Structure 1
Amino acid sequence: MEINFDIVVIGSGPGGYIAAVRAAQLGYKTALVEKYNTLGGTCTNVGCIPSKALLDSTEHFHTATTKFKSFGIEVDGLRLDFTQLMKRKNEVVQQNISGLNYLMDKNKIHVIEGTASFLNDKEIQVTKNGEKTTISATYFIIATGSKPATIPGVVIDKKRIITSTEALSLTEKPQSIIVIGGGVIGVEMASIYARIGVKVTIIEYADSLIPTMDKELGKELKKIFSKNEIKILLNHKVQSTVNNGKNVTVHYLDQSNAVQEITADYCLVAVGRSPYTKELGLENTAIELDDKGRIVTNDKLQTKENNIYAIGDVIVGAMLAHKAEEEGVFVVETINGQKPHINYKLIPGVVYTWPEVASVGYTEEELKSENKEYRVGKFPFSANAKARAAMEKDGFVKVISEPKYGEILGIHIMGPRAADMIAQGVIGMEYEVTDEDMFRISYAHPTYSEALKEAYLIASGQGALNI
Structure 2
Amino acid sequence: MSDSYDVIVIGGGPAGYPAAIRAAQHGLKVACIDDWQNYDGSRSFGGTCLNAGCIPSKALLESSELFHRAHEEFGVHGIKTGGVELDLAAMQKRKAGIVTQLTGGIGQLFKANKVSGMQGRGRFLGDGKVEFTDPDGKQQTLQAKHVILAAGSQPIELKSVPFDGKQVVDSWGALEFDTVPGKLGVIGAGVIGLELGSVWKRLGSEVVILEAMDTFLPMADAQIARDAQRQFKKQGLDIRLGAKVQGAKTGKSGVTLSYEDKDGTHDLKVDKVIVCVGRKPCSAGLLAEGTGVETDERGFVKVDEECRTGVQNTWAVGDLVRGPMLAHKATEEGVMVADLIAGKIAEVNYEVIPSVIYTAPEIAWVGKTEAQAKEAGIDYKVGTFPFAPNGRAKAMEQAAGMVKLIANKRDDSLIGAHVIGPMAGELISELVVAMEFQASIEDLQRTIHAHPTLAEAIHEAALAADGKALHGINK
Alignment deviations for residues 247-276 of structure 1 (CA, whole Å, 9 cap, x no partner)? 1111111223x0011011111000110000
The reply to whether residue 78 of structure 1 matches residue 78 of structure 2 is no
2:225 equivalent among 218, 227, 230: 218
1:272 to 2:254 alignment: no
Judged with a 3 Å threshold, the aligned counterparts in structure 2 of structure 1 residues 404 and 385 are, in CA distance, closer, same or farther, namely: same
Corresponding residue for residue 324 of structure 1: 330
- Using the TM superposition, name which of 211-220 and 352-361 deviates more: 211-220
Write out per-residue CA displacement over residues 58-90 of structure 1, whole angstroms, 9 at most, x where no aligned residue.
Answer: 011111111111111111111110111111100
| Cα distance change, pair 207–463 in 1 and its aligned pair in 2 (3 A) | farther
Amino acid at match of 1:350: V
* 1:364-397, Cα deviation, whole Å (9 max, x unpaired): 1211222222111111111211111111011100
Query: Matched residue of 2:92: which SS?
Result: helix
Q: Deviations over 1:145-186 (max 9, x none)?
A: 000013342212222111110010112121111111011001
Q: Is the 8 A contact 2:379 2:410 kept in 1?
A: no
Aligned residue identity for 2:19: A
Is the aligned partner of 1:185 residue 2:213? no
1:57-206 to 2 correspondence within 5 Å? 57-128=63-134, 129-206=136-213
**Alignment partner of 2:467 out of 458, 462, 467:** 462
Alpha-carbon separation, structure 1, partners of 2:315 and 2:177? 37
In the other structure, the counterpart of 2:359 is: 353
Paired letter, 2:425: A
Distance 2:201 2:9 in 1: 39
Residue equivalent to 2:26: 26
Secondary structure (helix, strand or coil) at the match of 1:283 reads: coil
* Higher alpha-carbon deviation: 34-43 or 20-29: 34-43
For residues 96-131 of structure 1, the C-alpha deviation after alignment (integer angstroms, 9 at most, x for no partner) is: 012111101100100111111122222111112221
Mapping for residues 413-428 of structure 1, pairs under 5 Å: 413-428=419-434
Alignment of 1:433-444 (within 5 A): 433-444=439-450
CA distance in 2, matches of 1:121, 1:462: 61
Deviations 1:14-49 (A, max 9, x none): 110000000000000000001132000000000000
The residue type equivalent to 1:435 in the other structure is I
Aligned residue number for residue 9 of structure 2 = 9
Which residue number corresponds to residue 262 of structure 2? 255
Asked whether 1:294 is paired with 2:300, we answer yes
Question: Which residue of the partner structure matches residue 55 of structure 1?
Answer: 61
1: distance between equivalents of 2:156 and 2:252?
A: 23
SS in 1 for 2:388: helix
The separation in 2 between residues aligned to 1:311 and 1:287, in whole angstroms, is 13
Q: Which amino acid aligns with 1:32?
A: C
SS class of match (2:15): helix
Give 1:445's aligned residue: 451
Of the candidates 366, 382, 400, which is equivalent to residue 388 of structure 2?
382
Aligned residue among 244, 251, 256 for 1:237: 244
* Mapped contact 2:352–2:367 kept (Cα < 8 A): yes
Kindly tell me the number of residue pairs found equivalent between the two proteins: 465
Separation in structure 2 between the aligned mates of residue 321 and residue 19 of structure 1, nearest angstrom? 13
Long gaps (5+) in structure 2: 37-42
Report if aligned partners of 1:208, 1:219 keep a CA contact under 8 Å in 2.
Answer: no
Q: Is the 8 A contact 2:89 2:178 kept in 1?
A: yes
**Alignment-derived partner of residue 40 in structure 2:** none
Tell me the distance in 1 between the aligned counterparts of 2:123 and 2:21. 22
Q: 1:150 to 1:210 in 2, by over 3 A?
A: farther
SS of residue in 2 equivalent to 1:14:
coil
Report the alpha carbon displacement of residue 190 of structure 1 after superposing the two structures with TM. Answer: 0.7
Cα deviation for residue 244 of structure 1 reads 1.8
Runs of 5+ consecutive residues of structure 1 not aligned to the other structure: none
* Distance across 2 between alignment mates of 1:360 and 1:301: 22
1:101 alignment partner AA: G
Tell me if structure 1 keeps the 8 A contact 2:361–2:421. Answer: yes
Deviation at 1:246, TM superposition (A): 3.4
Read off the aligned partner of 2:157 and give its amino acid letter.
T
Distance 1:100 1:177 in 2: 35
- How far apart, CA to CA, are the structure 2 residues paired with 1:197 and 1:218? 25
Backbone CA RMSD of aligned residues? 1.1
C-alpha distance in structure 2 between counterparts of 1:114 and 1:163, whole Å:
23
Counterpart AA for 1:238 = V
Contact 1:208 1:218 in 2 (8 A): no
Q: Secondary structure at the match of 2:248?
A: strand
Q: Are 1:341 and 2:357 matched, yes or no?
A: no
> Which residue among 27, 39, 42 is the counterpart of 2:45?
39
Query: Is 1:152–1:239's contact at 8 Å kept on the other side of the alignment?
Result: no
* Aligned-partner residue type, residue 296 of structure 1: K
Whole-Å Cα distance in 2 between the matches of residues 381 and 367 of structure 1?
24
Q: Give 3-state SS (helix, strand or coil) of 1:185's partner.
A: helix
2:414 paired residue number: 408
